[in-house]
Amino acid sequence: MSTALIQLRDVEKEVLVQDMNYQFQYVRVPDPDNLQTKYFNLFYKENNAPTWNVCPTGLLSDEYTIVKTEDAIKEIQESLNAKIIVQKNMRFYTTVRSNFVLDGFSLNLNKDTIVDKIIFKLITGVDIEDIDSDTALAFSIINGFSGNISITLQYGFMTSYNTKEKNVSLFNPYILDEYSVSLIHDGKLKLQYDNVRDVREQCNKRIETFKSIIPDKELFDNFEHRIPKKTFIKFMTTYNDLANEYQNLYYLTYLVSTVSDGQKKFMTELALRKTITDYFKSKTTPKKQ
């Protein structure tokens, strides 16, 4: 990828970075003699916000490199020669996330209308009889502007639930979590396109493996420590009401997705992703003799 990186060491006093609907201002810190140091304060806000927020996690050194999320997305889109058909952006403090689907990446998955109705109700609170769904391989860029998270490409499933009254979508980041990759290699921003092809080819196999795993108390105990009590009770009630054929790790990830998507908290999702990925590995990794 050829996206220009912003090196703080090249910034004399300050620089404003505009990324989608968000602004990040890096200001070099002077010492008591008013000489510039190698450290920067970070201020951030959304475009229409009247006041700035101060990043509370400490100073950034001038060794830090800034990458704009929107530039990375644009180059991924152009390199794969595909248009964005669905996109959801959000910010959590100084971390920006964009989930998007490109045309040509739809997955021909068997539709489970019963589960679709349950998920639609969890998202909207509405019972519906007629529903259609479509699932695609989705790209997800997570970009930390305060040095907390390096810019990372993740993959997931974006499912659109369509009814006559309302259309909603849900991003499931759990099934393909192990394929996450850093976009910074040797000080440059670039995408490993072989990785994209490999992930796409692995989707159906991955789904079947997830369906073969029946969650147990160990997993649910971990969930209980990571989500609010009322949410956990509702989550468990919904899962226990599923028919036996749907009580597996695959459908469980969709229920968990409604929790993490509804809370819109990166840290909650990251903790749940690690929990599910570690659990998946424990059930699929052959034990040493």
pLDDT in tens, 62-85: 999 999 999 889 888 888 889 999
**265 has pLDDT over 70:** no
Q: What are the extents of the domains in the chain?
A: 6-66, 69-284
Supply φ then ψ for residue 160, to 5 degrees. Answer: -100, 130
3-state secondary structure 35-79: CEEEEEEEEEEECCCCCCEECCCCCEECCCEECCHHHHHHHHHHH
CB atoms under 10 Å from CB of 219, counted, come to 20
**162 has pLDDT over 90:** no
DSSP H/E element including 200? helix 193-211
The pLDDT value given to residue 270:
83
Give the integer Cα–Cα distance in Å for 132 and 163. 7
Q: Which of 63, 72, 68, 21 is nearest to 40 (CA)?
A: 63
CB atoms under 10 Å from CB of 234, counted, come to 16
| Mean pLDDT score of the chain | 89
The pLDDT value given to residue 23:
96
The pLDDT value given to residue 1:
42
Whether 261 contacts 170, CB under 8 Å: yes
